[in-house]
Amino acid sequence: MQGQLERKGMWAIITGASSGIGESMARELARDGVNLVLVARRLDRLQTLGAELKEKHQIESLAIDADLSLPNETKRVFERATANGRMIQVLINNAGIGTYGPFMHYELEQYSKTIQLNVTALTELTYYLVGHMQAHGKKSYISNVGSIASFLSVPYFSVYGATKHFVRDFTQTLNFELRKSNISVSLIAPGGTYSEFTEHSGQVLRKSAHGSMMTSELVAQIGMDRMFKGHRSIVPGFLNSLMVHFPRFLPVKWMLACNDLVMRMAVDYKK
């Protein structure tokens, strides 16, 4: 209860807030009285969500429509979010895209957008907000949403997985650099989650996949709770927590073969 009272009145930026994990994180934060800057491409969804949470939890909200897979969007988002003296104390870098299937199955432009959104935009927003948070000096939190793919090297998720490897390493090293500052940095690495990402990434779930899937609400609940407790690495779900340790015990070739087998049993890709 004490923690919830401390969060009341904070401002948080959430990217990819129009659906899935991002929307669920917005709902979790709003319950604690956190004011929200909601960022995504679909302005109508953001405005509807913001109005609902404002009425339900008496918070403030700001909707910013932005396509972070395009260059030069992050500075505009930062400037709008911090206008009128808003002090941001929480940044959730949740927006991300990826494609599942053979490397040559997709156009190069799709991979460029994946890298721009998952790596460049995340890095830029983090840069702007670290400076902002250091300047105002209040206790602050940054969570970068990665994936268990960042631990596992998953065939047919080559570019997406590589961007999440970046997110994981970047987050962990930044956490160390800022360990004596007012900023706590966390990695949230979900596994399979019911959200629009599954369809947009070209995955077709088989029956066996549903045994390990989690809801976005549960991922958000675990992620936000542990973020505020200062956890460095957050892997929601017992099975996911087990899976991220396997690479320590297997040669790379065996690990890739195992991950390939597991994915083929669980999902197909859109032809």
* Cα 114-120-124 angle, rounded to 5 deg: 145
Which residues have a Cβ under 8 Å from the Cβ of 124 and sit 6 or more positions away?
A: 74, 75
- DSSP calls for 139-157: -EEEEEE--THHHH--TT-
Give the lowest-confidence range in 21-30, 125-134, 247-256.
Answer: 247-256
Domain boundaries, the chain: 2-269
Q: Which residues contact 242 (CB under 8 A, 6 or more apart)?
A: none
pLDDT (0 to 100) of residue 2: 47
Higher confidence at residue 236 or residue 205? Answer: 236
What pLDDT, on a 0 to 100 scale, did the predictor assign at position 3? 63
Direct distance between the N- and C-terminal alpha carbons of the chain, in angstroms, rounded to an integer: 50
CA distance 130 to 173: 14
User: Which pTM value belongs to this model?
Assistant: 0.92
Query: What are the DSSP calls for 70-118, one per residue?
Result: STTHHHHHHHHHTGGG--EEEEEE-------S-GGGS-HHHHHHHHIII
Classify domain 2-269 at the CATH class level: alpha beta
Catalytic residue among 106, 160, 194, 269: 160
For 60-73, the pLDDT digits (tens) are 999 999 999 998 89
Is residue 160 flagged as an active site residue? yes
Q: What are 7's two structure tokens?
A: 């969060």
